[in-house]
Chain A
Amino acid sequence: MAAPFAVRRRRHREAPPERGGARRRTAASSGGAGSAMLEALVAGGAEGLVLVRDNAACEGRSLLRAFVTAAVQRAERVLVVLFDVPREQFEAGLSPSVKEQLLYRDGFTDPLGWSGPDPDLRAGDFGGLLAGGLPSGGAPDAGAGLTQLAAAAPAPPLPLPGPGGPAGGGPPAPDESFTLLPDGSLRSLGVPTPTPEEEDGRPPPSVARTPGSPRDSGGRAPSHPLTFRLQLSAAERAARAAVPPPYQLSTPKRSTLLRTPGTIVCALEPPEDEDPEDPDDDLDV
């Protein structure tokens, strides 16, 4: 079985809102599969364990839904094991044709058997489910909240293949951008090209956002945007490069300076208007 690889989501720094309400996200992938990692995953090229790891600011369940939608469209059997959310919340937003193809095991309602004698799925049975209880045919995807599973009960070690890590030992592939469409499917936007500001190492210009947006990577709360621009545009940078510095002398000026060495040019200032009053008038000599 191929070594597992991880898809990690990270919020892209400049995420302009897409039309139609879909938002643009970024995934970082390790492994030497190249820049079309997400497209390969969505097209069914995944083997082994794919781990989607998110954070509180950017949830990963919608990516999971996109994988599920793509798997159903490839006519694969999909088993969804729920630990974190109820079924209604997981299938919200999925099209009805996708919803009716999904098989569910409910580990959310009663994973520890506290509420009744016969829960649908106990947390400790998840390993057995993965090992032998999956429905036959196709390559079922088990969508789950694995971090919730790890926190729910000290289950026995699951028979997962191999430790996670970059396959082939090469450098990690660059982050990829993707957007989730309203019907739940995923559209890969490829590797985002860095803007000239990012290549120089300077932070990108802060995008004007609606008040109340979270902080951008510059650390400044965008709810108080600047009224002036700090970065130069390309035309301004070109104009600045075209201006000669003052220490670079033109040829006529340099020859003039060389021809008249040591000359002191003294320009007298015009005499100031003198005060007619005698300042020593009040002295008693």
Chain B
Amino acid sequence: MFTELNELLDASPQRPETGKFTLLRDTRTDGSFLVHHFLSFYLRAGCKVCFVALLQSFSHYNIVAQKLGVSLTAAKERGQLVFLEGLKSCLDLLFGEEEKQSGQPSPLQFISESTSNLKALFDFVRTSLTPAGSDSWKGPVLLVDDLSVLLSLGATPVAVLDFIHYCRVTVCYQLKGNIVVLVHSNEDSEDEENELIVNSLCHHSDLILWVEGLATGFCKDVHGQIKIIRRASLELTAEQDLVQIYQYKIQDKNVTFFARGLSAAVL
């Protein structure tokens, strides 16, 4: 986890929040460093994490997590991490032998079957995060990387929104856990289905981290800008959403955040 981001978000692994929906959104750049941050943050906080990883393999996340001081293999062995490797599951589903399919239904069975809903994926999330009697984890966390891949795999926007709705009901409200979801978006994109999902998720999010590439192009010292939007308008007494904008630079084991125009290279 990145300590500077924790300070900006006023978050600490000793007191993780409950019932929050965090939306990670990236435009013209790759926001997956935030996924690594939240994965290591919640594992350090002692929460039970269900990670629906559709974009990269397990070893990729493991290597990055080790740089951040967390071992995903160890977390999986002690039962703290439930990892759905989407790349492997898709292949097993489409090219696997029939014996494997006679067991539990694959969470991604919507790809091969005619059912257009993501109920199987939701059932997987629910069974992973419903606390068993012997669990002593702090709170369930659902992490999805990323949601736009489900559209590419053939799910309809309505199905994806249904899945997110049920996850919100179960994880945020019933189990008092947190959800972190990554989506890609582009303001002038022609992918209307993706923009529909992003807009809908913005309505339900308590915190939006919007990562954008610089409008002027690539820069060696400033890799992009992050907009932190706290949806204070969802609460009764607050007035407006609080928006803070910072720039960041990704290093090998850390990400530094600074006010706009105050990169270390120009100071």
- Chain A positions within 8 Å of B, measured between CB atoms, are 15, 17, 21, 23, 56-59, 62, 84, 86, 92-93, 108-112, 114-115, 147-148, 151-154, 182, 211-215, 221, 223
Q: Nearest-CB distance from B171 to chain A (Å)?
A: 13
A108 to chain B: closest residue by CB: B169
* CB pair A56 B203 closer than 8 Å: yes
A54 to chain B: closest residue by CB: B203
What chain B residues lie within 8 Å of A154 (beta carbons)? 158
* CB pair A152 B161 closer than 8 Å: yes
What chain B residues lie within 8 Å of A114 (beta carbons)? 119, 122-123, 166
B11 within 8 A of A: no
Number of interface residues of B (CB under 8 A): 29
Question: Which of B78-86, B94-102, B137-145, B241-249 has 4 or more CB atoms under 8 Å from chain A?
Answer: B241-249
What chain A residues lie within 8 Å of B158 (beta carbons)? 151-154
Distance, CA A21 to CA B158, complexed state (A): 37
B156 to chain A: closest residue by CB: A154
B202 within 8 A of A: yes
Which DSSP category, helix, strand, loop or mixed, fits chain B's interface? helix
What chain A residues lie within 8 Å of B237 (beta carbons)? 21, 182
Chain A proximity mask over B1-29: 1 for CB below 8 Å, otherwise 0: 00000000000000000000000000000
Residue from the set A57, A62, A110, A211 with the largest chain B CB neighbour count within 10 Å: A57
* CB pair A151 B200 closer than 8 Å: yes
Which 6 A-B pairs rank lowest in CB-CB distance, beginning with the nearest?
Answer: A56-B202, A93-B236, A23-B239, A212-B242, A151-B161, A214-B243
- Chain B positions within 8 Å of A, measured between CB atoms, are 117, 119, 122-123, 157-158, 161-162, 165-166, 169-170, 173, 199-200, 202-204, 233-234, 236-237, 239-245
Q: Nearest-CB distance from B128 to chain A (Å)?
A: 16
Residue in A21, A57, A108, A182 whose CB lies within 8 Å of B233: A57
B118 to chain A: closest residue by CB: A114
Distance, CA A87 to CA B149, complexed state (A): 32
Known contacts A151-B157, A211-B244, then 12 further A-B pairs from the complex at CB < 8 Å, ordered by chain A residue:
A15-B239, A57-B233, A62-B236, A92-B236, A93-B236, A151-B161, A152-B161, A153-B158, A212-B242, A212-B243, A213-B240, A223-B244
A123 to chain B: closest residue by CB: B162
Distance, CA A102 to CA B212, complexed state (A): 44
12 A-B pairs with C-beta separation under 8 A = A21-B237, A57-B233, A59-B203, A112-B162, A115-B170, A152-B158, A152-B161, A211-B244, A212-B243, A213-B242, A214-B240, A214-B241
Q: Nearest-CB distance from B109 to chain A (Å)?
A: 15
Distance, CA A108 to CA B169, complexed state (A): 8
Distance, CA A15 to CA B233, complexed state (A): 14
Q: Nearest-CB distance from A67 to chain B (Å)?
A: 16
* CB pair A221 B245 closer than 8 Å: yes
Distance, CA A215 to CA B240, complexed state (A): 11
What chain B residues lie within 8 Å of A211 (beta carbons)? 244
Distance, CA A151 to CA B203, complexed state (A): 13
Distance, CA A161 to CA B157, complexed state (A): 28
Distance, CA A151 to CA B202, complexed state (A): 14
* CB pair B239 A17 closer than 8 Å: yes
What chain B residues lie within 8 Å of A92 (beta carbons)? 236
A148 to chain B: closest residue by CB: B165
Distance, CA A62 to CA B243, complexed state (A): 21
